[in-house]
Amino acid sequence: MARVVVDVMPKPEILDPQGQAVANALPRLGFEGIASVRQGKHFELEVDDSVDDATLAKIAETFLANPVIEDWVIRRVEP
Amino acid sequence: MTARIGVITFPGTLDDVDAARAVRRADAEAVPLWHGDADLRGVDAVVVPGGFSYGDYLRAGAIARFAPVMGLVIEAAGKGMPVLGICNGFQILCEAGLLPGALVRNSGLHFVCRDQWLRVENTSSAWTTRYEPGAEILVPLKSGEGGYMADRSTLAELEGEGRVVMRYVGGNPNGSLNDIAGVTDARGRVVGLMPHPEHAIDGLTGPTDDGLGMFLSVLDTILGAAPGTGATATEVPA
């Protein structure tokens, strides 16, 4: 078994109102110096060793992310 | 001949009852379809209603798009069957690839629930022939992820081919690009709309009866179709 991490982020050109709301809240909470925030999703998958990279890419592209509005990155993480 | 119009219910669908009522009000037969169905029961068209299918988990519409019944809808739409996706149904049709683009969180972050004016921009789709070009209609809008997004080339294609079916007027409620409230596919058979025509079919229960025209339109489309060809007088060439 291996741990695979898939990070899904809104594309840079897509407005991210949730990230903006977080960014706007930070100065109100007394945290200065944060120029911007983008909010995405982080998936952790426990996968069998037989699952290859192409399959993982298909899972990310067809299901975990919507490629119209989101980019995704897959990482295999050492156990 | 009575047209049979299917109304899909997923776990978490809310507006199937009103959609079926709108179908009946247009003098068609409403055929309930379940998300796990392996057969479309001979329907002539399908409404994918609003709600929160599968709790909007992952993304709105992302899981519903893989429901067994959706495989059949995608196949039938490919053969020209009219399909209308309302609100969550619009999100599902985008996720399924039947319509271009995607719906994202409202730019103002708040869930918007109000009666909304729309301008009908395309009166040749299977669902909009009963409207006058440029007609303004008032129907409820109730969504948290209603912002229509598409890349620049897709947007140019939609605008260039007249595939923006309806546009918000009197203020953009959710940050949709080009004030887009609804779009259609290249053949004008599949329509997705964020506001709710099925909630505006009589003055007693809705702000107007402006939404009924969509259901009457598809009835014209179905009943006007030449037998066996699937072609109609109102069809937009691909």
Write out pLDDT tens, residues B192-224. Answer: 999 999 999 999 999 999 999 999 999 999 998
Is there a contact between B107 and A64 if contact means CB atoms under 8 Å apart? no
* B113 catalytic per annotation: no
User: Of the listed B121, B145, B196, B199, which one is catalytic?
Assistant: B196
By C-alpha distance, which of B37, B158, B177, B4 is closest to B104?
Answer: B177
Mean pLDDT of A25-41: 96
Split at pLDDT 50, 70, 90, the class of B1 is low
Residue pairs spanning A and B at CB distance below 8 A: 35
> pLDDT tens digits for B107-135?
999 999 999 999 999 999 999 999 999 99
By C-alpha distance, which of A35, A73, A17 is closest to B149?
Answer: A17
Domains of chain B: 4-223 (3.40.50.880)
Spatial separation of the C-alpha atoms in residues B193 and B219, rounded to whole Å: 18
Spatial separation of the C-alpha atoms in residues B3 and A60, rounded to whole Å: 40
Q: For the sheet containing A2-10, what is the strand order?
A: A41-47, A2-10, A70-77
> How close B63 comes to chain A (CA, Å)?
8
> pLDDT tens digits for B133-149?
999 999 999 999 999 99
B106 touches chain A (CB under 8 A): yes
User: Of the listed B121, B145, B198, B235, which one is catalytic?
Assistant: B198
Is there a contact between B108 and A17 if contact means CB atoms under 8 Å apart? yes
The domain spanning residue A28 has which CATH number?
3.30.1280.10
Spatial separation of the C-alpha atoms in residues B232 and B222, rounded to whole Å: 8
For residue A46, give every residue at least 6 positions away whose Cβ sits within 8 Å of its Cβ, in sequence order, or none: A1, A2, A3, A4
Q: Which residues of A touch B147 (CB under 8 A)?
A: 15
Domain span at A57: 2-77
> How close B62 comes to chain A (CA, Å)?
7
> pLDDT tens digits for B159-193?
999 999 999 999 999 999 999 999 999 999 999 99
Tokens of B213: 């025209």
| Total structural domains within chain A | 1
Residue B231 has pLDDT above 80, yes or no: no
Nearest Cβ partner for A18 among B58, B105, B150: B105
Residues of A with CB under 8 A from a CB of B: 10, 14-15, 17-18, 21, 63-64, 66, 68-69
Tell me the β-bridge partners of B32: B7
Is there a contact between B102 and A64 if contact means CB atoms under 8 Å apart? no
